[in-house]
Chain A
């Protein structure tokens, strides 16, 4: 495989899963991705643990500078922790374990995505500016048979407790054809 690499399995994800089940209100705290105009995540709930701050820009020129990471006073890639991480210390432990194990030097977006049975993430490729800077990892918190994750011409089912790198710069899509929610912890790392 070229677009997927399983780097670990057997990670103990049950404490985080239990915390997520105990705190369902976290799913609705922020719906940025779900409501992203014409975005691929209309059927996805997300708990944002780390994400870029919203940067108000007033002109197209400022927007272009920001997207080129040249807007004074702003780092396009900086992702501060959000309040939700304080509700899910179990997630922080998994994230830091991954950073330590891989030797990453910078931590980017961290979010927990949930796709309901029958739901999907529609085909898309992640933004070039983002995918070229970061490497994308998934820690599988809950996933039953029937889940498919396609990237390019390759398709896998990522099982609970597994950790995967995948190539998010090319077209990918997810379909949850199982009878239970698919929950992944998504982490961006820089080396």
Chain B
């Protein structure tokens, strides 16, 4: 069974690192441009300290098998709109056959509602499309992001 909990970046980062590398290896376009995975730990720590970082961790028998990292703050253009902005989310490959992703998103939604968040944004990669998951959870598509490597 996988259970989800809000955990602290400073507690969990070292344990999370192997999955971050697996995540990077699977989906990042940066690796194709020789940009290594090199998280700015001090920034995450600062955001943890100011309360704007949320890390939801999914565990099975104590081991991390899923995570969602997001930032929560008032919208820069919308002071009254507490907004959850995406950073990353991942479910370990061997745990994707069940409802782990859906259960994690539902846990996140419950936590965001508890915190009074009004707008929750999530991204879906073109090469690793999670649109079906988000539509199933009643998200509406509102934007496509492009990138150009220079």
Chain A residues engaging chain B, CB cutoff 8 angstroms = 117-118, 144-146, 148, 153-155, 157, 175, 177-180
Does B63 contact A179, Cβ atoms closer than 8 Å? yes
Does the CB pair A146–B114 fall under 8 Å?
no
* B61 and A117 within 8 A (CB): yes
- CB A95 to nearest CB in B, in angstroms, measures 28
Measured between C-beta atoms, what is the minimum distance from A180 to chain B in Å? 7
User: Complex: how many Å from CA A178 to CA B62?
Assistant: 4
Residue in A117, A145, A153, A179 whose CB lies within 8 Å of B57: A145
Q: How far is the CB of A176 from chain B (nearest CB, A)?
A: 9
A-B pair number, CB within 8 angstroms: 44
Minimum CB–CB distance from A152 to chain B (whole Å) comes to 11
Which chain A residues border B4 with CB–CB below 8 Å? 148
- Listed by A's residue number, 20 A-B pairs whose Cβ atoms lie within 8 Å are A117-B62, A145-B11, A145-B57, A145-B59, A146-B5, A146-B60, A146-B62, A148-B3, A148-B4, A148-B5, A154-B114, A155-B5, A157-B7, A175-B1, A175-B3, A177-B1, A177-B60, A177-B61, A178-B62, A180-B62
Measured CA separation A157–B110 after assembly (Å) = 16
**Does B62 lie within 8 Å of A144, measured CB to CB?**
yes
Question: Does B12 sit at the interface, judged by CB under 8 A?
Answer: yes
Determine the residue in chain A with the shortest Cβ distance to B2. Answer: A177
- Return the CB mask of B1-42 against A: 1 if under 8 Å, else 0: 111110100011001000000000000000000000000000
